[in-house]
Structure 1
Amino acid sequence: MWKILRFFARFYTPGKFVTFIRKTGRKVHFLPKLLTIFYCMQDEDTPKFIKLALMGALGYVILPFDFVPDVFAGFGWLDDAAVVAAALRLAGTYVKPEHREKVRHMFPFFRVHV
């Protein structure tokens, strides 16, 4: 599991994440969850293993090739959404209310569930 996490974490950098958000953010319906992962990962209180898992999840989403290529309309993002959901479940108690509040602040006109 460590090898898989490290593999996908290699594809994450803050710059790549921002570029990804700018290019595909409006197409990704789970963008608030991605940002929640990002804020949790930036928190000093989040353990290193959890940070690695979150980096791996973000790296997987950013990666242009994955199990179901993103170019397939409707189905291409399903595997990415599943990885994001699993990462949030793993992070669990480390996702703080302030992480969620930052995301809600970014999406003031939308009902955001994270």
Structure 2
Amino acid sequence: MDNSKYEKHYSEQGFWSKLRKYAKDAGAKVVYSGLLLFYALQSPKTPTKAKIQIYGALGYLILPIDIVPDVLPVVGYVDDLGALMLAIGAVAVNIDSSAKQKAKDKLKDFFGEDAANNQDIIDVDAHIVE
């Protein structure tokens, strides 16, 4: 998926607005993946090329018109998760322990303590090497 065309749709306000409105519908794995990328984007250590990929994936998440509409129960966020996972794979070396911890802490705000300790959710970052 070419995320570069979605880059223009990213904004920090749009990201938080989407998560606040649709976190429960999207599910913890989508939210955690988005948070990982968001916090990697905030890091001054993340190179421009990686940030461009992150902007694209987060822009796709925010975009109200998807390949699979987000309003469809269960499957609506599958394409969003795919875009986020592709970006995570591409920029994994730029996601440090600080970004992972911030993402887990924020995930607790949305889904509670159990979500941040659920291996099925946080395995998203299992391939991230520090």
Query: TM-score, normalising length from structure 2?
Result: 0.79
Gaps of 5+ in 1: none
Partner of 1:65: 65
Partner of 1:48: 48
Matched, 1:23 2:21: yes
Question: How far 1:105 moved relative to its partner?
Answer: 2.0
One-letter amino acid of the counterpart of residue 25, structure 2: K
Query: TM-score, normalising length from structure 1?
Result: 0.89
Question: How far 1:21 moved relative to its partner?
Answer: 1.2
The superposition leaves residues 28-81 of structure 1 with CA deviations (integer Å, 9 ceiling, x where unpaired) of 222111111000011111111110110100000110111111122221111111
Question: How far 1:94 moved relative to its partner?
Answer: 0.5
Partner of 1:83: 83
Poorly superposed stretches of 4+, deviation over 4 Å: none
Partner of 1:12: 10
**1:109 counterpart (104, 108, 113):** 113
- Count of paired positions: 112
The whole-number CA distance in structure 1 between the counterparts of 2:87 and 2:26 is 16
Percent identity, please: 27
- Contact kept, 8 Å, 2:68 with 2:79, in 1: the verdict is yes
Higher mean C-alpha displacement, 34-43 vs 98-107: 98-107
